[in-house]
Amino acid sequence: MTDAERPDPQNPLTDLEHWDDDLRRRYPEPASAPRRSRFTDPGKKKEDFRNYAAEARESVREFYRLNHRYQTVDLVRRKRDEFLSLRRGKRSLWEALEYLNTLIDDSDPDTDLSQIDHLLQTAEAIRADGHPRWMVLTGLLHDLGKVLCLYGEPQWAVVGDTFPVGCRFSEKIVYSEFFRDNPDTKIPEYQTRLGIYEEGCGFSNVLMSWGHDEYIYHITRDYLPLEAQYILRFHSFYAAHRENEYEYLMDDQDREYFPWVKVFNPYDLYSKSSEPPNLEELRPFYDDLISEFFPDQIAF
Ligand SMILES: [Fe+2]
Ligand SMILES: [Fe+2]
């Protein structure tokens, strides 16, 4: 086995999409979902998908073991200092999307979709349902923060469910048993119900575990409406948007805007189809849409 073939203990997912696949296992699409016939590939064999998912599950478990162990208050503060000052140069959003597309997933027998394909499928599903233009654009951009992987960040600091640090970890967080290895569980101040926060302080005052959500939110927040900012920042916060945990940290603004994260989530999870979108046809629409909200280049 060469070094290149050896599994990287810091990056147990052989394919970043295994995390997304596991989300669909945890939260299957309701049979009554109206978009099902339009956006689910009818040619896909359910059995193939299940076998593949079983193999992928072990790597997802290992991934969460690392994520839950290393996501501490201290880590989050350091990553925020490192990345949120946006010192990695200016790019147009298309340049950033094309850069993200160099992150190749090569082991998924289920689909051969690129990162841009997933983003376009999400955006197109939102557009097909007649949602506002800012939300279509949010669909296109929501995973752009995964460029963190291309900066050499480990998987556990880019993807995975996000959750507040600095207060008790909810048992509803996936694989919550792995938090026993997290050094913050030894700090009593961080392990009360409120931890370092106050009742109703608002999610904007909460340190979320570090990942692609917080990064894309910071890059784009000056240009998008608050609804979009909530979607970008919290789209992986499954403990809140699927399990309704951490309501005691919400303020009035969260109660008004957080429901948009719930509206968005099915488009992220269930718009995947093996039919790649036609980028050439769609490009003019998305060029217009991007220039409606963004300048030519923004800081990363
Ligand atoms: Fe995402
Ligand atoms: Fe996504």
The ligand with the least distance to the CA atom of 236 is 1
Q: Is residue 184 part of a domain?
A: yes
The ligand with the least distance to the CA atom of 212 is 1
Mean pLDDT of 58-77: 96
The phi, psi pair for 299, rounded to 5°, reads -80, 135
Average pLDDT over the chain reads 90
Residue 151, pLDDT above cutoff 60:
yes
Q: Is residue 206 part of a domain?
A: yes
Buried b (16+ CB within 10 A) or exposed e, 196-225: bbeeebebeebbbbbbbbbbbbbbbeebbe
What would the pLDDT profile of 71-102 be if each residue is shown by its tens digit?
999 999 999 999 999 999 999 999 999 999 99
* CA of residue 189 to ligand 1 center, whole Å: 30
Query: What local confidence, expressed as pLDDT, does residue 4 receive?
Result: 56
214: left (phi over 0), alpha (psi -120 to 50) or beta: alpha
* CA of residue 233 to ligand 1 center, whole Å: 9
pLDDT band of residue 21 (cuts 50, 70, 90) is confident
* CA of residue 211 to ligand 1 center, whole Å: 9
Q: Is residue 97 part of a domain?
A: yes
Q: Is residue 7 part of a domain?
A: no
Q: 134: buried, middle or exposed (CB in 10 Å: 19+, 13-18, 0-12)? A: middle
What would the pLDDT profile of 211-235 be if each residue is shown by its tens digit?
999 999 999 999 999 999 999 999 9
Query: What local confidence, expressed as pLDDT, does residue 131 receive?
Result: 98
* CA of residue 105 to ligand 2 center, whole Å: 14
What would the pLDDT profile of 191-209 be if each residue is shown by its tens digit?
999 999 999 999 999 999 9
Q: Is residue 8 part of a domain?
A: no
Q: Is residue 195 part of a domain?
A: yes
| Of the candidate ranges 84-93, 105-114, 139-148, the one whose mean pLDDT is the lowest | 105-114
* CA of residue 46 to ligand 1 center, whole Å: 24
Say how many CA atoms lie within 13 Å of 241 toward its Cβ.
Answer: 25
What would the pLDDT profile of 263-274 be if each residue is shown by its tens digit?
999 999 999 887
* CA of residue 215 to ligand 1 center, whole Å: 11
Altogether, the residues listed in the chain come to a count of 300
pLDDT band of residue 290 (cuts 50, 70, 90) is very high
The amino acid at 164? P
Q: Within its chain, how far is the Cα of 269 from the centroid?
A: 10
Query: What local confidence, expressed as pLDDT, does residue 37 receive?
Result: 37
pLDDT band of residue 40 (cuts 50, 70, 90) is very low
pLDDT band of residue 31 (cuts 50, 70, 90) is confident
Query: What local confidence, expressed as pLDDT, does residue 113 receive?
Result: 84
* CA of residue 216 to ligand 1 center, whole Å: 10
* CA of residue 188 to ligand 1 center, whole Å: 31
* CA of residue 140 to ligand 2 center, whole Å: 9
Provide the domain count of the chain: 1
Range of the domain at 69: 17-299
Query: What local confidence, expressed as pLDDT, does residue 283 receive?
Result: 97
Q: Is residue 4 part of a domain?
A: no
pTM: 0.90
The ligand with the least distance to the CA atom of 120 is 2
Query: What local confidence, expressed as pLDDT, does residue 36 receive?
Result: 42
Q: Is residue 70 part of a domain?
A: yes
Dist CA 256 CA 167 (whole Å): 23
276 versus 249: which is more confidently predicted?
Answer: 249
Mean pLDDT of 172-185: 97
Mean pLDDT of 136-164: 97
147 versus 21: which is more confidently predicted?
Answer: 147
